[in-house]
Structure formats: C-alpha cells, structure tokens
Amino acid sequence: MAARPRDTPGPVIDADVLGSAGGRVNRLYGDPIDVWTHEDGRPARFVWRGRLYTVLAILDHSVVSREWWRERSPDPSVPADREFWRVQASPGRDAPRGIYELRHDVAVSDWLLSRAWD
C-alpha cells in the first residue's frame, strides 16, 4: 500500500483508487485544515497549505462512530467520532478541480485533509 514509511515527509502514495476518483492516484496527507460549513454541516470551503478551496460538489459522505458494532443500542444523540467527506473542489476559477477527502473529528471539531487524488 504505502510507498514510504510514516515518518518520511511528504504524502504517502497509495494505489487504492476509490469511488468517483476514477483512475487517479490517491495520496494520503493528514494535514490540518480550516473548514467553513453550510448550516447542515456540509463543507463549503477549506484552506489547505495557504490556499482557499471552494467545494464544488459533495461526492460521498460517511460516518464512523465509536465502536458502534460493540453496542447493543447505540445512542444516536452521542456524536460520531469521525465524518469523512469526499468532495470536488478548486482553488480558483481557472485552476484545475481536484478530489479531496476531508475528515471531521466531531468530538473535538478538528478537520484534516486526509486524501487527495491527482
């Protein structure tokens, strides 16, 4: 899977190509980002490495809860541990569009850019 050890700087290149990413190369990052959301929680814009990206489309959304599979009756009022948003976004009108996976740690309200497809 990974093309380099975890402690080496730069992205991990992963051959895993998922969903709407087509035949693109998947790169893992884990970089902290600032995110602006719509009222319903969908990401609208994010800043990654000093550039502002506008979300053009939500391609996928998934929720990973605390060990829900071990609970008999999970409490839906307890926030999920993480939300994953796969989005199409661009840093400008004339800039190429990219596919990005944003991870939201709901309990602490942190966001990371976890993946990008080239």
Which pTM value belongs to this model? Answer: 0.71
Q: What is the pLDDT of residue 91?
A: 94
Which residues, in sequence order, are bridge partners of residue 14?
26
DSSP-based three-state secondary structure for 91: coil
> What's the domain range around 99?
26-68+78-117
Look at 8 and 76; give whichever has higher pLDDT.
76
Domain presence at residue 10 = no
Domain presence at residue 1 = no
Domain presence at residue 20 = no
Answer positive or negative: Cα dihedral of 34, 38, 43, 45.
negative
Domain presence at residue 17 = no
Look at 15 and 114; give whichever has higher pLDDT.
114
Domain presence at residue 2 = no
Q: Tokens 């506008």: give the residue.
A: 54
**Cβ atoms of residues 46 and 55 within 8 Å:** yes
Number of folded domains in the chain?
A: 1
- Mean of the per-residue pLDDT values for the chain? 80
Residue 1 has pLDDT above 80, yes or no: no
pLDDT digit string, tens, across residues 36-69: 999 999 999 999 999 999 999 999 999 887 666 6
